[in-house]
Amino acid sequence: MLFRTKKTVDIDTSALPRHIGIIMDGNGRWAKKRGLPRSAGHKAGAEALKKIITEANNLGVEYITVYAFSTENWKRPKEEVDYLMGLLMDYLINAEKTLAGENVVIRAIGSRKELSEEMQRQIIKTEEFTKNNTGIVMNIALNYGGREEILHAVKDISRAVKAGEISADDINERNISDALYTGGQPDVDLLIRTSGEMRLSNFMLWQVSYAEMWFTDKLWPDFKPADLRKAIYDFQNRGRRFGGV
């Protein structure tokens, strides 16, 4: 089926990227341009995100992972960290009501033990509340780092080897993928980064191996559903060869 968009790019809904990853960058610059505190940029970023999730879900995308807070983001001023954590908390609480109504499955990926107990409880609650939904799976990368994720997987697999559950020779790409926070989900097909930066920043290092990368100069709060459709359209018009010819 062809999905005609307002800007007349035709998305083929039978050939969607199954998994989209987004590095939502530029909230701070968006706020600065307007003479506002960085927190205002994050707030606008959270609003932009809601619309993108709704759009991706309506199009029929199966998985979306958004980089909300990296393991490195703790280095930011305490005031900004506290604000971001508050926003994430609100998002998880509201997601229970609004996104659940839209049939979204919400999951948090990343290391949880450094998060507040309140946040850890809310994550479990939101995940539980939305787990039987049948729409898009939204992974919120929260205290997430790609290397930390791989390290975590290696430790889990090493324990299984030590316990004699598997032998070292049985370790393969499949069981490494399964041991990641995204275990059971497909790799990322399309990786989007906003704000003109062209770095991976420790995001889904294993899962983006064959992802198409799509960059825009737009700052995250300015990223609209039409931009998502354009990224998908461009994805559909690239030739993916997975190392073949």
Contact pattern for ligand FPP over residues 92 through 131, marking x by CB under 6 A: ----------------------------------------
Q: Which of 20, 46, 192, 228 binds ligand FPP (CB under 6 A)?
A: 46
138 contributes a contact to ligand FPP by CB under 6 A: no
Helix, strand, coil abundance in the chain, percent, nearest 5 = 45, 15, 40
Which of 24-32, 99-107, 158-166, 176-184 is the region at the interface with ligand FPP (rule: CB under 6 A)? Answer: 24-32
192 contributes a contact to ligand FPP by CB under 6 A: no
Which of 4-12, 44-52, 53-61, 108-116 is the region at the interface with ligand FPP (rule: CB under 6 A)? Answer: 44-52
Torsion, CA 75, CA 81, CA 87, CA 93, rounded to 10: 90
Select 157 or 219, whichever has its Cβ closest to ligand FPP: 219
Burial (Cβ within 10 Å: 0-12, 13-18, ≥19) of residue 88: buried
CB-CB contact of 20 with 190 (8 Å): yes
145 contributes a contact to ligand FPP by CB under 6 A: no
Burial (Cβ within 10 Å: 0-12, 13-18, ≥19) of residue 235: buried
Which of 8-16, 42-50, 174-182, 208-216 is the region at the interface with ligand FPP (rule: CB under 6 A)? Answer: 42-50
**DSSP code per residue over 70-105:** ETTGGGS-HHHHHHHHHHHHHHHHHHHHHHHHTT-E
223 contributes a contact to ligand FPP by CB under 6 A: no
68 contributes a contact to ligand FPP by CB under 6 A: yes
Active site members = 25, 73
Separation between Cα atoms, residue 91 and residue 168, nearest integer Å: 41
Select 49 or 180, whichever has its Cβ closest to ligand FPP: 49
